[in-house]
Amino acid sequence: MDIKFRKEGENLIVDVQLSQRRTPNDPHTRVGSKEVLDMMKENGYNVGEYSMEKDSYCSTEGKNPSLSSTWVFIRKVADERSTQSVKRSRTARRKSTTNKENKLLGTKDMGGVQS
């Protein structure tokens, strides 16, 4: 298995190339996103700083296996800076026009009926 990490700006690109099985006794190999994240941790990358943009999968199983794949990760720090400028301010609450004292004391005129 050949793994290559390369950076293009804020993007981290992971290329995985699996070797083909030569005999039926050779074990099957599967590489998914979980395995790629584990490989990133082993190579010193902070997985929490990246979000996955392109997911992929490669395997040696089946008649025509997909032996190579590419994963693309984007740094979250760049995304947070761009979303901060879009934040909206809260609108002020609308104030009630009714008299609160009338509500609490029950002194509102009920049309001649006393409680």
Domain range list for the chain? 2-78
pLDDT tens string 44-62: 998 999 999 999 999 999 8
Token pair recorded at residue 77: 């720090």
Q: What is the pLDDT of residue 105?
A: 65
Residues 36-41: what's their mean pLDDT? 93
pLDDT tens string 5-37: 999 988 999 999 999 888 889 899 999 999 999
Spatial separation of the C-alpha atoms in residues 93 and 41, rounded to whole Å: 48
Neighbour tally for 61: CB within 10 Å: 10
CB-based contact 52:72 (threshold 8 Å): yes
